[in-house]
């Protein structure tokens, strides 16, 4: 990409569906339309997980149907090799991929080791195909037992066996981060629930102190629907200045709102989630502004499907005269969602990456169910996708 400086006079247009869906055939557009139509039915999304599990349990041949519809929409393949065609397709439109081995719900140390080994394989692939895969990623609970992290966070006394397990967990995370550092590959560490995130923040800060001295390799993720995250970000910046390291910061709105609020109510503590959507939006945008004011010490990835936040970041870049392809700033969306944002940003020469989840179909079902629930619960998300797809279908018919 050329070193293109942002221009306030040239406005982004996220309503350009020709650019957004150029990569899709008419048939693929139709399938996506029907899929989002189904996802928009709240009752179907609620029944879906139980129906799918029942179907697998009694041996119904539904794997092919899932793979041809919801899996194809939101996942790259069942293996890293199966993702190759999607990575190349995205790259042909200047969109990078984040290989995301989306296995979760494991409990055995051997399973966590296997997941770590697979993440390391994605790192080696990124090293060899950097333009296709600008980042790798892992979810901490893919490498560690949730119950153990919960106990550590609550500062409960660990048994000798649990302490050994925790030490092994930290060593596993450090091994992944060290491998990323040694191969000069940037790696995102996804956010988790608040009742384990404090422990993870401490571990990830240690990783940034070790591996982000010369350049930004390790990125933490802040869920900005939490009302304490802007203050946390400011304190983290002070810590980074004092300890001379670079902060890798991915900002997202958050993925566990209902679960967080329910747990807070059940256990009698203040909800960590902002009271209103407007407060969440302000928290997110304040986080963007803070990062942009401190690019001397922060590399940022705006993980968002919110058009206004993307416009804001582009505007801040323009105001500061920062090149659209500045390596310190990326935009990110999930595969199969908000293509009107991803492809129009990339078309205008901004740095854009898509999360590309992969894994055996049965193993990634929890991820797929979350995507369906997210599109149903997020205000207007499925409706927005349907409206844009319909607009592109009409445009093609009139062309």
Q: Of 124, 138, 135, 117, nearest to 183 (Cα)? A: 124
Residues recorded for the chain: 399
Residue closest to 159 by CA, chosen among 144, 168, 148 = 148
Average pLDDT over residues 110-118: 96
pLDDT given for residue 80 in this prediction? 95
- Residue 123 CA: distances (Å) to CA of 119, 277, 318: 6, 36, 32
DSSP one-letter code for 71: I
End-to-end CA, the chain: 30
CB proximity list for 81: less than 8 A, separation 6 or greater = none
pLDDT tens, position by position, 57-77: 777 777 878 888 888 899 999
Is residue 73 assigned to a domain?
Answer: no
- On whether residue 319 sits in a domain, the answer given is yes
Q: What is the CATH number of the domain that holds 84?
A: 3.20.20.220
- Name the least confident of 35-44, 62-71, 83-92, 344-353: 35-44
Region 79-100 average pLDDT: 97
Averaged pLDDT, 298-316? 97
Tell me whether residue 62 is in a domain: no
Host domain of residue 231: 80-360
The answer on pLDDT for 248 being more than 50 is yes
DSSP category for residue 191: -
- For residue 371, tell me if it sits in a domain: no
Give the dihedral sign, CA 321/342/298/327.
negative
Number of domains in the chain: 1
E strands in the chain: 96-101, 135-138, 186-189, 218-223, 247-252, 298-303, 329-334, 352-358
- Output phi, psi for 324, to 5 deg: -60, -30
Measure the CA–CA gap between 175 and 319, rounded to whole angstroms: 40
> Residue 47 falls within a domain, yes or no?
no
The answer, as to whether pTM is greater than 0.85, is yes
d(CA 363, CA 105): 9
Residue 67 lies in a domain: no
The reply to whether 40 falls in a domain is no
8-state DSSP, 275: S
User: Binning pLDDT at 50, 70 and 90, where does residue 255 land?
Assistant: confident
Q: Does a structural domain hold residue 161?
A: yes
Is the CB of residue 188 less than 8 Å from the CB of residue 136?
A: yes
Range 111-133 average pLDDT: 96
Q: Rounded distance, CA 77 to CA 90, Å?
A: 14
- Residues 197-219 pLDDT 10s: 999 999 999 999 999 999 999 99
The candidate with the shortest Cα–Cα distance to 354, out of 32, 181, 132, is 132
Count CB neighbours of 25 within 10 A.
9
């Amino acid at each position: 990409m050329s070193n293109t400086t942002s221009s306030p006079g040239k406005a982004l247009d996220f309503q350009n569906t020709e650019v957004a869906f150029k990569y899709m055939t008419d048939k693929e557009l139709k399938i996506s339309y029907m899929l989002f139509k189904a996802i928009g039915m709240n009752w179907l999304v609620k029944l879906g997980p139980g129906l799918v599990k029942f179907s697998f349990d009694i041996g119904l041949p539904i794997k092919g149907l899932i793979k041809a519809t919801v899996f194809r929409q939101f996942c790259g393949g069942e293996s890293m090799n199966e993702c190759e065609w999607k990575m190349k397709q995205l790259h042909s439109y200047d969109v990078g991929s984040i290989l995301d081995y989306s296995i979760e719900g494991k409990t055995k140390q051997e399973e966590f080791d296997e997941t770590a080994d697979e993440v390391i394989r994605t790192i080696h692939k990124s090293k060899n195909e950097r333009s296709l895969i600008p980042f790798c990623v892992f979810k901490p609970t893919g490498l560690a037992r949730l119950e153990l992290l919960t106990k550590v966070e609550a500062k409960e006394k660990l048994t000798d066996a649990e302490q050994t397990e925790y030490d092994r967990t930290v060593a596993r995370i450090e091994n992944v981060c060290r491998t990323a550092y040694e191969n000069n590959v940037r790696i995102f560490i996804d956010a988790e629930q608040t009742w384990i995130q404090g422990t993870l923040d401490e571990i990830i800060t240690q990783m940034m102190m070790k591996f982000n001295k010369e350049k930004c390799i390790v990125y933490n993720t802040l869920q900005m629907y939490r009302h304490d995250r802007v203050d946390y970000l400011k304190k983290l910046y002070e810590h980074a200045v004092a300890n001379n390291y670079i902060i890798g910061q991915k900002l997202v709105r958050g993925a566990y709102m209902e679960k967080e609020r329910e747990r807070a109510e059940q256990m009698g503590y203040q909800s960590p989630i902002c009271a209103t959507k407007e407060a969440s939006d302000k928290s997110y945008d304040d986080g963007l502004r803070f990062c942009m004011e401190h690019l001397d010490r922060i590399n940022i990835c705006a993980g968002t499907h919110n058009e206004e936040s993307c416009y804001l970041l582009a505007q801040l870049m323009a105001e500061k005269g920062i090149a659209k392809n500045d390596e310190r700033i990326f935009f990110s969306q999930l595969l199969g969602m908000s293509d009107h944002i991803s492809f129009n940003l990339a078309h205008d020469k901004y740095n854009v990456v898509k999360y590309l989840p992969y894994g055996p179909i049965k193993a990634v079902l929890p991820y797929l169910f979350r995507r369906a629930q997210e599109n149903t619960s997020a205000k207007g998300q499925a409706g927005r996708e349907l409206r844009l797809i319909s607009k592109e279908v009409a445009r093609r018919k009139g062309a």
